[in-house]
C-alpha cells in the first residue's frame, strides 16, 4: 500500500495538478490531504474542486479555519493581520456557501492502519491547527507536541512548509512540506509518500516542478490583493 500525504495547497491549483499527476505516475493507492486548501492562492475554487474530486480523506488546516471565520489577533504578526484578512475576504468571495461549509465541517485528524502499521496524521499538532513544530525541534518537543496524543508507528503533519523525515524512539515523523507555497528555498511542490508492504515501512519526500511564473501571472490576472508578496514567495520558495 502506497499512500501520498499532501498538504498546504493554498489555492495553487497548478502545483496541485502537477502533484496529482506525479502521484498517478508513482501508482499511489491512496491520497490523504492534511489541510490549508484554498487561502492565499489565485485559484481557491479550482483547488477545492480538484481536492473534492479525489473523494479522499481530507482534514482541516489553520488556513481553512481562517476562511471560515477570519484571522484573529494573536494568530499572526500584528502588522500582518489586516492584509491577511483582506486576502481572506477575497478568498471567501471566490467560494460559495456550500464550499465554506465544507471547510467548516472538515475533521482535524485522521488515523490509518495499513497492514498492521498505524499512522496518525494532522495539520499542525493533534491539539492545535496553529502550533508550529519546526524540523529542528528537540526530541522532547517533538514527543510532547506531536506524539503524546496517540501511540502510533508513523506521524505525518504539514503546516510548516518545510519537509523532512525523522526517526525517533522507534517512530517515524514525516512533514509533507507544502504543495503550493514551499518555504525551504526549493521552488518545487512537496509531498510525502508512506509505503507499507509486508511489515516494511518506507517514507519519501517528493519534489515536483510546477509552472511558477504562470502562477504569478495568475495572481495578477485575478487581482489578488497581495499579489506582489505572494509572487516573491512563489519565485524564491521562501518567505522574504
3-state secondary structure of 125: strand
Measure the CA–CA gap between 238 and 142, rounded to whole angstroms.
Answer: 23
- For the chain, the domains span 2-236
Which mean pLDDT values do the consecutive 10-residue runs of the chain (240 residues) have?
98 98 97 98 98 97 98 94 97 98 98 95 97 95 90 97 96 98 97 95 97 97 96 92
Measure the CA–CA gap between 229 and 106, rounded to whole angstroms.
Answer: 29
The full DSSP string for 132-150 is: ---TT--HHHHHHHHSSS-
**Is the torsion defined by CA of 80, 82, 85, 89 positive or negative?**
negative
Of 175, 143, 172, which Cα lies nearest the Cα of 6? 175
Supply the pLDDT for residue 27. Answer: 96
Measure the CA–CA gap between 155 and 142, rounded to whole angstroms.
Answer: 10
Supply the pLDDT for residue 199. Answer: 84
Of 214, 155, 224, which Cα lies nearest the Cα of 187? 214
Contact status, residue 64 vs residue 106, Cβ threshold 8 Å: yes
Contact status, residue 197 vs residue 179, Cβ threshold 8 Å: no
Domain spanning 2-236: which CATH class is it, in words? alpha beta
Supply the pLDDT for residue 32. Answer: 98
Give the residues across from 207 on adjacent strands. 190
Give 76-80's long-range contacts (Cβ < 8 A, gap of 24+).
none
Supply the pLDDT for residue 148. Answer: 85
Give the residues across from 226 on adjacent strands. none
Please identify which residue in the block is written with the cell numbers 512533514.
Answer: 175
The cell for 240 is 522574504
What is the pTM (predicted TM-score) of this model?
A: 0.96
Supply the pLDDT for residue 141. Answer: 94
Measure the CA–CA gap between 236 and 232, rounded to whole angstroms.
Answer: 6
Amino acid at each position: 500500500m502506497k499512500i501520498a500525504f499532501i498538504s498546504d495547497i493554498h489555492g495553487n491549483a497548478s502545483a496541485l495538478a502537477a502533484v496529482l499527476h506525479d502521484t498517478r505516475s508513482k501508482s499511489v493507492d491512496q491520497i490523504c490531504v492534511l489541510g490549508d486548501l484554498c487561502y492565499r492562492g489565485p485559484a481557491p475554487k479550482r483547488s477545492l474542486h480538484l481536492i473534492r474530486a479525489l473523494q479522499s480523506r481530507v482534514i482541516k488546516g489553520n488556513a481553512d479555519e481562517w476562511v471560515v471565520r477570519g484571522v484573529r489577533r494573536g494568530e499572526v504578526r500584528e502588522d500582518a493581520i489586516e492584509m491577511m484578512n483582506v486576502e481572506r475576504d477575497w478568498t471567501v468571495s471566490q467560494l460559495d456557501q456550500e464550499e465554506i461549509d465544507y471547510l467548516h465541517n472538515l475533521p482535524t485528524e485522521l488515523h490509518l492502519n495499513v497492514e498492521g502499521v498505524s499512522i496518525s496524521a494532522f495539520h499542525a499538532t493533534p491539539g492545535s491547527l496553529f502550533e508550529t513544530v519546526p524540523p529542528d525541534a528537540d526530541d522532547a518537543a517533538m514527543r510532547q507536541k506531536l506524539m503524546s496524543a496517540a501511540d502510533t508507528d508513523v506521524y505525518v503533519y504539514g503546516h510548516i512548509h518545510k519537509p523532512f523525515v525523522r526517526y525517533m524512539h522507534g517512530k517515524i515523523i514525516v512533514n509533507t512540506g507544502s504543495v503550493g507555497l514551499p518555504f525551504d528555498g526549493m521552488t518545487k511542490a512537496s509531498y510525502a509518500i508512506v509505503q507499507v508492504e509486508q511489515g516494511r515501512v518506507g517514507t519519501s519526500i517528493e519534489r515536483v516542478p510546477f509552472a511558477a511564473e504562470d502562477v504569478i501571472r495568475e495572481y495578477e490576472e485575478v487581482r489578488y490583493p497581495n499579489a506582489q508578496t505572494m509572487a516573491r514567495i512563489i519565485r524564491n520558495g521562501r518567505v522574504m
